[in-house]
Structure 1
Amino acid sequence: MLIVVIEDDYPIANLIKMNLELENFDVKVFSDAESAFDFFSNNEADLILLDIMLPGMNGFELQSRIKKKNIPVIFITAKNDQEDKLMGLKLGADDYITKPFDNRELVLRVKAVLRRSKKKLDNDCLTLGKLKLLKRKHCVLLNGEKLELTPKEFEILYLFMKNYQQVFSREQLINHIWGYDYYGNSRTIDMHIKRLREKLKSYQNIIKTVYGVGYKLDLGKN
């Protein structure tokens, strides 16, 4: 796992690097936000340890620029200001630690954030046979080929994949996908299921009709 440390205090940066490498993490250190931003233009990381007070672009601005990458961030700062903490959390920080800090505490916080991040990724990517759904990217792949689904079709498939082999009635599907205040005909579900099956091509039979009840997802012999 790669952890990027952005800290302009060299002794602190080197100490963080040493402690993380002792835990078998790969660590890359930057002393300014601009260099880190250039790195993230073409690279990814598993976690960022980001100082707020940096020369030039500060940590808050860098976080705002790379937020779409969805990389977990722990802010590190010498300031113990509540407004800074609130700003960091507002920008999507996963944790916040104030200097001076205990190295053991930092390592424990890093591991905790990485565990939470892994759980999010596990929930984000659902796989069933040759079918893969990436929720965050709103993307469905079949044999590596992207399927063009409408938002409702995507939501139906996500619900099915997340609750594999669970039977949903038409009313339950409407409540999950459209909401309880939907007043349309429940047969609209049949139309969406029909179109979804067509788009799943060779995998269309994984959506099973449970007569008199509703629908479920079941790979079976597909």
Structure 2
Amino acid sequence: MNVLLITAKSDITELVSGVFISKSMAGKHRLSILEEPPSGISDIAGINFLIADICSGDDNLLSFLKSSQTSDLPKLIIIAGIASVSGLLNNGVKINDFVFEENLDTELGIRIENIFLRDFKLNSSNSIITGEMVLDLDKYELLINGKKIELTFKEYELLKILLENKNKVFTRTQLLSAVWDYDYYGGSRTVDVHMRRLRSKMELPYSDMLKTIRNVGYMFSPELE
């Protein structure tokens, strides 16, 4: 999972980094750190979870948090006081949880783990579970009804991104960038080829949960039509 921390404070950076190390998350999740909100949507391609420090009251950060590019991202907000929460909600910012800056030492790790469990369904075994489908992030395995499904690494990475961002639409370019990186020159249609192969390996109803969004890209939606 790709986590983005936005803060200009070195002490907060150290605390968040320390949580990922102490909780043995560093090998499972990638933490990126920015002092200011990114300027373009390509800068957050593949980001699954956002931690933002709003204690300074940065208007640019507030605009970023309520923008369409981050509206569906799970967010943990670091605040100075409870009034900040009301201000965020009144400005249309969706947040999943918040933590007071003064309580970071004792509460930060708990808040992050709760979001991983509640919003990403990452359990103690580090798996994403949808019904009888289990994506084991430690073993790089997909199990459906207890049966192992053989995937290539690219197929696994595609499925992982979509499962970590349920009901979020990714363009082919975003998926290409996240899985193949920017230096790949094979063209975005390679995403279509891998998605077809991935669907063919998965059983119903899970293969139908991989939805094609016409002229845009793909998403994983557990709600079948």
Pick 1 or 2: higher relative contact order, CA cutoff 8 A, min separation 6. 2
TM-score, normalised to structure 2, is: 0.49
The structure with the largest helix share of the pair is 1
